[in-house]
Amino acid sequence: MKKIILLLITCFAGAGCASLTLALPVQTGGRAPLTEQLLNDARKELKLAQESYAAGDMAGSEQAAIRAARIIYAADFPGNGKGRRYAEISSRLSLLMVRLNRFLHRVSPELEPESFTMPIPHNPRIERQIDIYLTRGRTAFARWLRRSGRYVPVLREYFIQQGLPGEMVYLALVESGFNPRNRSPKHALGLFQFIQGTAEMVGLKKSYWLDERRHPDKAARAAVKHLKSLYREFHDWDLSLAAYNAGSGRVKRAMRAQKINDYWKLALPPETEAYVPKFYATLIIAREPELYGFNPDMETEIATEEVDVPGGVDFKVIAECLGTSLSVVADLNPELTKGCTPPGPETYLLRLPKNTGERFRTVFAGLPDKKKYLSREELSRRKFKGVYFVYKIKSGDSLHTIARKHHTTVAKLRRWNPSTRKSKYIHAGKKIRIYRSR
């Protein structure tokens, strides 16, 4: 942390403010503990430096920046601290140093070369979101950033190949935290959070057995297609991102009603007004995570190969053939929602760990058909698991008559309705669940 401060001091001196080094003598002891008050004081001095610089008062700007840096440098940072309070202090110090770095960057642009192709704006809305990610949202953001290592390298290259800025891949962090199984309260699903209507529009399939919104590669292709369409519509990435969140119709209506075509001036729903700042805050932190106090042990991409597997094969059987765990197979194929390949005459292209395909084919071929495939009854149970209706018992009904009428068995009715297990009789007016079982 101190090294970064010293670097900033040196850089600022190199930009023509040599007095900064004179104002900050090296101290060997007696530092005051870093507190919220000191951070607030440093923040105020940095704000004054920025305001003075904008007004053309270079001398005043320099002196305020010196005072901000001196407060930070002179404080004793608790490097061996523990707990949430330490993490928040660390985060706020990181953010303050980055803000000082940005201020220096405006004096000497070569100090902070851009590593992204998209122009990244800096404004108070983005700053507030960065602050959230570094404080109360820190734990979640660190988890998302760590998970991104599994997807970003490959998907970013794909986005670039398709003519989009590679940074757009970080939309998946804002949308789902790079979790392909993430489902929003509005039933959007997958890395890029498609609702069902939009998913159908961009070619993602859904059935009883699979939901391609959860397929990382197919969802990425759909996201590219959708983003291209939005950019052709708005010719502006900020508005396109807003439309990705709120829908192009809502954004267009707001633009027409307010006669504004600048996202940052548009009045939009609160979620959409926060959406684009979240995206840019993510890019800013992801570009230099260490500078913001993040040092995540990034997940890495899992090497896989695709193998044609017959329909109706249980993940458990596949895992046993590979000598691996059920969770490995499920993790590599999150789009398959019933724990098996879709039944039917066609094979399914399943992702397996690299260099295991031949082993699977050999072991699977030696299994008896009864073990290879799920039974019709089990497939039916999985297909309709969780799909039931509530039946109100009528006078004269019995479990036998209800079971016969609804093409099921008394044993299943008792299993689905624990209240019927301890009694021979059922009573009119009571309600029971009946699952579809064809």
Q: What is the pLDDT of residue 195?
A: 93
Least confident segment among 112-121, 239-248, 360-369: 112-121
Contact 337, 209 (CB under 8 A): yes
Percent of the chain with pLDDT over 70: 80
Q: How confident is the model at residue 110 (pLDDT cuts 50, 70, 90)?
A: very low
Q: How confident is the model at residue 387 (pLDDT cuts 50, 70, 90)?
A: low
Least confident segment among 30-44, 323-337, 345-359: 30-44
Is pLDDT larger for residue 298 or for residue 159?
A: 159
**Mean of the pLDDT values across residues 86-110?**
52
Q: How confident is the model at residue 9 (pLDDT cuts 50, 70, 90)?
A: very low
Q: What is the pLDDT of residue 230?
A: 96
Question: Phi and psi at residue 203, in whole multiples of 5°?
Answer: 90, 15
Percent of the chain with pLDDT over 90: 50
Q: What is the pLDDT of residue 16?
A: 36
Residues designated as active site: 175
Q: How confident is the model at residue 416 (pLDDT cuts 50, 70, 90)?
A: confident
Q: What is the pLDDT of residue 30?
A: 52
CA angle 419, 420, 424 (to 5 degrees): 140
The model's pTM is 0.69
Start-end of H helices in 149-215: 152-161, 171-176, 196-201
Is pLDDT larger for residue 69 or for residue 305?
A: 305
Q: How confident is the model at residue 287 (pLDDT cuts 50, 70, 90)?
A: confident
Which helix (DSSP H) or strand (DSSP E) does residue 37 occupy? Answer: helix 36-54
- Read off the amino acid at residue 425: Y
* Residues 399-417: b if buried by 16+ CB within 10 A, e if exposed: beebbeebebeeebbbeeb
Q: What is the pLDDT of residue 79?
A: 45
Q: How confident is the model at residue 74 (pLDDT cuts 50, 70, 90)?
A: low
Q: What is the pLDDT of residue 268?
A: 96
**Mean of the pLDDT values across residues 321-335?**
94
Assess whether pLDDT exceeds 80 at residue 142.
Answer: yes
Which helix (DSSP H) or strand (DSSP E) does residue 10 occupy? Answer: helix 2-14
Domains of the chain: 2-111 (1.20.58), 124-292 (1.10.530.10), 304-381 (no CATH), 386-435 (3.10.350.10)
161 contacts: CB under 8 Å, gap ≥ 6:
none
**Mean of the pLDDT values across residues 192-209?**
93
Quick one: tokens of 296? 């995540």
Rounded CA gap, 126 and 143, in Å?
Answer: 20
One-character DSSP codes across 210-248: BBGGG-HHHHHHHHHHHHHHHHHHHS-HHHHHHHHHH-H
Least confident segment among 2-6, 127-131, 241-245: 2-6
Assess whether pLDDT exceeds 50 at residue 358.
Answer: yes
Assess whether pLDDT exceeds 60 at residue 185.
Answer: yes
Q: Average pLDDT of the chain?
A: 82
Start-end of H helices in 111-151: 124-134, 138-148
**Mean of the pLDDT values across residues 32-38?**
70
- How many angstroms separate the Cα of 326 from the Cα of each of 162, 318, 438? 35, 8, 27
Q: What is the pLDDT of residue 55?
A: 82
Assess whether pLDDT exceeds 60 at residue 332.
Answer: yes
Assess whether pLDDT exceeds 50 at residue 314.
Answer: yes
Q: What is the pLDDT of residue 298?
A: 87
Least confident segment among 31-35, 88-92, 213-217, 247-251: 88-92
Q: What is the pLDDT of residue 93?
A: 57
